[in-house]
């Protein structure tokens, strides 16, 4: 096996070098790309050495799935942080804060609070009852074959949603950072992650996650130190200069539109620290919050981490450490985000990536000395490499979770009826990891250019509506039984998926066409409006569904003056070019030095504006082409029927209700008989799976 591993290391190294040849445009300038690849190479070498070492001690099933239950509480805490802090939270939240201020920070809170549920109700009982998978916990007192099948299907569904979002996000991210082709990034991430999982199992995955978490925390601490130190680590002093920054004030003015006209620059800056610039619908936020707080505890790759520690006490320690690291990290993102807004500027951040994902990397480049400096580019390279390690570590954890469901629950538990030999089990685990890995790469490539952002929220919603009610009620409710588990899991997950399919997350061709036409053809003039009183919504259901006869709530509106028509892209381009040509032609004739400099600056600005309009035009044209000939969404809808982006508010209570109803209306002798044993064991740890001795 070690021979194979060496070959694989070589081919990955070759891939990262050949990547350089494919490199097009990215945030890293061409002459500094070698540095990024050098840092990538070092990180890949470290993780490969870990895998090589882990592979030598990974022979049994317990070693493959649970690292021999020999991971200490502190190590597991770091690994949980490494498993959980995805690129979306590392780059995405810093980006949201840099563009929208307070709302981005508020968004990060739920991701930490989620661990209270994990700590209080899930971690220790799961360690005491479980073996390798969520299916093991459910099968303890319910019908093993039925519950393992449903649990495995749910695990694979959740993991695939999350995995697809990670693969697509990772591919786009690496392309934006260093310009490697999307497909090559996806294949590179896939091969690396497969090497860790197939050869090193849980032990390699754990240590890759620990390495990544340490790198991530280090990188963030360095950046925050550099951002905050000039203010003597004073919070009001630092935030005071954030709100006084003209770039930040300009961004707020842009977000507020007409409302900004009557505000002073100080008010605009202060508005950056107040809620409401990004998150508009409080009910949607509560729905998302519910999915996060209850979904994290039902995420299979997080649950699986608790089987790697020797005791329930170590499971407790690991959540405490994870909460310290994850929470500390999110507090740091407040400084990363606002720092990027102040020093780099929201305009520039959004011009590289509209979602703001490049805020952290660009901040690193700025702090190191800027675009042209060696140090600036080294820091950008380092942050890019950490982002890459982040994607690989999260993906490895997800693949392991899906593979364990496939091999341990479905193959060993259901097909072989728990009669597989230890050797067969390990082979099955490795083969399943290979299959899931190949699926992840294929799906990642197929989903290129698709809108996958909602898949993360959907993964949490399914986990909260299907996995959590089942695990929670099995552990804490005496009457819970097989029928309830199956009903709850199936109806909970189908409701969550179904509601998202008819939600605003999907692509609605009519809206896309209208938006694109606005850019291309401009907008007609809007006549002056008289003041309108506030409108009250007709009923609460109208907040959730687009029902007939619904009136949506509207705040009172002041009278607005007539708005002139807005020109289309072609008209704008013609206007800009008409201005540019005479100006450019007059350049050589200007003798005065200062006048010439002003004229040159004007030319540069016009050229920048032209490029921006052309980019918007190209995007609108591409959008039109994408939806050509379509009038309805995938589900045959012209506009969303379900109005929230996150289904949790409906699907989570429904999941719980279905488990309860299914259990109350049927009787299951085994579930009743096993209750005493389950309850005593989850509280005392008697007969829990022991750590294997090394």
- Which residues are at the interface with other proteins (CB under 8 A)? 102-103, 105-106, 109-110, 112-113, 115-117, 119-121, 235-237, 239-240, 242-243, 270, 273-276, 279, 282, 285-286, 289, 293, 313, 316-317, 319-320, 323-324, 327, 330-331, 676-677, 679-681, 683-687, 690
Nearer to other proteins, 461 or 486 (CB): 461
CA 580 vs CA 45, 587, 588, 598, 600: distances in Å: 52, 11, 14, 14, 11
Residues 6+ apart with CB under 8 A from 98: 104, 336, 337, 338, 340, 341, 344, 346, 349, 356, 359
DSSP of 682-693, one letter per residue? HHH-TTPPPPPP
Nearer to other proteins, 89 or 211 (CB): 89
| Exposed / middle / buried, residue 395 (Cβ in 10 Å: 0-12, 13-18, 19+) | buried
Distance CA 359, CA 342 (A): 11
Nearer to other proteins, 207 or 307 (CB): 307
Q: How many CB atoms lie within 10 A of CB 665?
A: 11
Nearer to other proteins, 609 or 677 (CB): 677
**3-state helix/strand/coil string of 137-165:** HHHCCCCHHHHHHHHHHHHHHHHHHHHHH
Tokens 């995420």 map to which residue? Answer: 299
Distance CA 105, CA 331 (A): 8
Nearer to other proteins, 202 or 213 (CB): 213
Nearer to other proteins, 26 or 77 (CB): 77
Min dist CB 594 to other proteins, Å, is 38
Min dist CB 683 to other proteins, Å, is 6
Provide the Cα torsion 225, 388, 324, 66; round to 10°: -150
Residues 6+ apart with CB under 8 A from 354: none
Nearer to other proteins, 331 or 574 (CB): 331
Asked if residue 114 lies in contact with residue 297, where contact means CB atoms within 8 angstroms, the answer is: yes
Token pair in block for residue 405 = 């469901």
Nearer to other proteins, 280 or 625 (CB): 280
Token pair in block for residue 441 = 């790469």
Asked if residue 516 lies in contact with residue 548, where contact means CB atoms within 8 angstroms, the answer is: no
Coil/strand/helix, residue 532:
strand
Identify the CA nearest to 197 among candidates 510, 30, 540, 426.
Answer: 426
Token pair in block for residue 367 = 């702090």
Min dist CB 476 to other proteins, Å, is 9
Sign of CA dihedral 291, 294, 295, 296: positive
Min dist CB 674 to other proteins, Å, is 9
Min dist CB 536 to other proteins, Å, is 15
Min dist CB 319 to other proteins, Å, is 7
Nearer to other proteins, 321 or 378 (CB): 321
Distance CA 41, CA 598 (A): 46
Min dist CB 505 to other proteins, Å, is 19
| Angle subtended at Cα 429 by Cα 426 and Cα 431, rounded to the nearest 5 degrees | 110
Min dist CB 354 to other proteins, Å, is 24
Nearer to other proteins, 630 or 692 (CB): 692
Nearer to other proteins, 634 or 686 (CB): 686
Min dist CB 72 to other proteins, Å, is 16
């Amino acid at each position: 096996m070690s021979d194979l591993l060496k070959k694989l290391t070589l081919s990955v190294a070759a891939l990262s070098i050949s990547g350089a040849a494919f490199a097009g445009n990215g945030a890293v300038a061409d002459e500094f790309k070698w540095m990024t690849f050098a840092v990538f190479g070092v990180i890949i070498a470290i993780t490969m050495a870990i895998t090589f070492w882990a592979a030598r001690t990974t022979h049994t099933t317990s070693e493959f799935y649970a690292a021999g239950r020999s991971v200490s509480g502190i190590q597991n805490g770091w690994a949980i942080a490494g498993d959980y802090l995805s690129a979306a939270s590392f780059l995405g939240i810093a980006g949201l804060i840099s563009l929208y201020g307070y709302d981005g920070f508020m968004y990060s809170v739920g991701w930490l609070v989620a661990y209270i549920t994990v700590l209080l109700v899930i971690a220790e009982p799961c360690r005491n009852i479980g073996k390798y998978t969520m299916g093991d916990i459910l099968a303890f007192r319910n019908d093993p074959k039925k519950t393992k099948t449903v649990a495995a299907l749910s695990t694979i569904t959740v993991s695939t949603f999350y995995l697809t979002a990670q693969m697509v996000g990772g591919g786009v991210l690496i392309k934006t950072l260093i310009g490697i082709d999307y497909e090559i990034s996806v294949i590179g991430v896939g091969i690396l992650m497969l090497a860790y999982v197939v050869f090193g199992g849980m032990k390699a995955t754990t240590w890759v996650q620990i390495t990544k978490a340490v790198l991530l925390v280090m990188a963030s601490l360095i950046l925050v130190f550099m951002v905050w130190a000039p203010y003597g680590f004073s919070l009001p002093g630092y935030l005071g200069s954030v709100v006084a920054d003209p770039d930040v004030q300009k961004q707020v003015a842009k977000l507020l539109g007409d409302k900004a006209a009557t505000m002073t620059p100080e008010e605009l800056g202060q508005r950056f620290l107040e809620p409401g610039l990004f998150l508009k619908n409080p009910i949607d936020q509560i729905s998302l919050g519910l999915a996060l707080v209850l979904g994290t505890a039902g995420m299979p790759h997080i649950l699986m981490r608790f089987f790697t520690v020797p005791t329930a006490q170590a499971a407790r320690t690991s959540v405490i450490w994870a909460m310290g690291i994850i929470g500390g990290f999110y507090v740091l993102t407040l400084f990363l985000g606002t720092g990027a807004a102040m020093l780099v500027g929201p305009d520039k951040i959004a011009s590289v990536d509209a979602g703001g994902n490049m805020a952290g990397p660009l901040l690193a480049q700025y702090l190191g000395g800027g675009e042209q400096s060696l140090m600036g580019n080294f820091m950008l390279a380092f942050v890019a490499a950490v982002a890459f390690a982040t994607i690989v570590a999260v993906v490895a954890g997800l693949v392991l979770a899906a593979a364990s469901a496939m091999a341990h629950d479905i193959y060993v538990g259901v097909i072989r009826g728990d009669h597989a030999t230890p050797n067969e089990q390990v082979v099955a685990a490795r083969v399943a990891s290979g299959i899931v890995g190949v699926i992840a790469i294929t799906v990642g490539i197929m989903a290129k250019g698709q809108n996958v952002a909602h898949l993360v929220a959907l993964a949490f919603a399914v986990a909260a509506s299907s996995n959590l009610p089942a695990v929670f009620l099995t552990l804490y409710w005496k009457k819970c039984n097989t029928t309830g588990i199956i009903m709850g899991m199936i109806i909970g997950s189908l409701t969550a998926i179904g509601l998202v399919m008819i939600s605003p997350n999907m692509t609605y061709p009519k809206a896309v066409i209208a938006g694109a036409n606005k850019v291309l053809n401009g907008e007609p003039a809007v006549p002056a409006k008289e003041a309108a009183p506030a409108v009250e919504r007709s009923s609460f259901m109208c907040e959730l569904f687009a029902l007939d006869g619904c009136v949506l709530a509207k705040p009172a509106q002041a009278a607005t003056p007539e708005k002139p028509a807005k020109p289309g892209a072609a008209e704008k381009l013609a206007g800009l070019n008409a201005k540019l040509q005479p100006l450019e032609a007059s350049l050589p004739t200007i003798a005065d030095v200062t006048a010439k400099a002003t004229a040159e600056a004007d030319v540069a600005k016009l050229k920048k504006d032209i490029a921006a309009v052309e980019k918007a035009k190209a995007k609108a044209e591409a959008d039109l082409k994408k939806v050509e000939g379509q009038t309805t969404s995938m589900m045959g809808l012209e506009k969303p029927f379900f109005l929230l982006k996150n289904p949790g508010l409906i699907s989570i209570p429904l999941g719980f209700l279905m488990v309860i109803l299914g259990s109350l209306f049927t009787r299951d002798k085994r579930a009743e008989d096993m209750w005493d044993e389950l309850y005593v064991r989850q509280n005392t740890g008697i007969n829990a799976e022991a750590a294997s001795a090394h």
